[in-house]
Structure 1
Amino acid sequence: MLQRIQTVYLFIAFLLSGVLIFFVSLWSNEAGQPVYVEDVLLALVLFVGSAVLSLVTIFLFKNRKLQFVLGRVNILLNFILLGVFVYWSLTLPGEMNISEKGIGMFVPVLSIVFLVLANKAIKKDEDLVKSADRFR
């Protein structure tokens, strides 16, 4: 059932991780030039992995338990990505000067929020199906 609210949440997480990240910068380097996700291979792989996982999870609507587990794996992947960004932001050269972090470093947080909302809706659907099975 693609018309459920968790599909909307998962699609928003896909758009954040798979599309938006190519248009916003992660940070600015010493020369003041913005660094995008294409310049950093590890971040690119993690973002694309998160986007693909969100898209695959949308189409697993018949298997809610697997959908829920893949949502949690995606949340874990975004936490790893967030940890990598925190590590990079603390070890960037020139931190004694005022440095500019881009909005791209905040994208995993937004993605985690929408993935948690999707998992909450999936759990609610699963509980509804279990309660209906008790009446049969």
Structure 2
Amino acid sequence: MIKMIQRIQTIYLLLAFIITGVLPFIFPLWTLSGGKSFYFMQSQIYTVLFGLSTTFSILSILSYKKRQNQFVINRLNIILNLILLGLFLYHSLNLSGEAPVVSEKGIGMFLPIIAIVALVLANKAIKKDEDLVKSVDRLR
């Protein structure tokens, strides 16, 4: 367990977990014209996607002994966050132009971008570990 925490990719994965599992409860996705904030829980699709992303982060952290599995899980998580970002973009481009319900974008819409950056950094660290193990195996 201590070895897992010592690795930098675990820190990046914990960061991705916090970004997709904790911060969406704090930051609204957007604010409607009446001043009412719209959080991810108000839409089933956003709730499912944020939940899946959080689950993938936890799975990746727990599979620290299997670097290849971690790498694949992180790639799936990146794709999931890109889908989430695409849905946010679609919503902001289609609904923000309507006169009765003008919305202001919130910080929550940018959380998938930060999560993607953390996951890419984790994958780089995993790749670096994998290369190190392969080079040690060659020396034996």
In 1: Cα distance, 2:88 partner to 2:115 partner: 14
- TM-score, with structure 1 as normaliser: 0.95
After the TM superposition, which residues 1-136 of structure 1 pair with which residues of structure 2 at under 5 Å, given as runs? 1-2=3-4, 3-92=6-95, 94-95=97-98, 99-136=103-140
Query: Once structures 1 and 2 are overlaid, which stretch shifts more, 59-68 or 93-102?
Result: 93-102
Give the gaps of 5 or more residues in structure 1. Answer: none
4+ residue runs over 2 A deviation: 93-99
Give the gaps of 5 or more residues in structure 2. Answer: none
Measure how far apart 1:22 and its partner are.
0.6
In 2: Cα distance, 1:95 partner to 1:132 partner: 60
Root-mean-square deviation over aligned CA pairs: 1.4
* Alpha-carbon contact 1:57-1:71 (below 8 Å) kept: yes
Measure how far apart 1:30 and its partner are.
3.1
- TM-score, with structure 2 as normaliser: 0.92
* Alpha-carbon contact 2:95-2:102 (below 8 Å) kept: no
Identity across matched positions, percent: 55
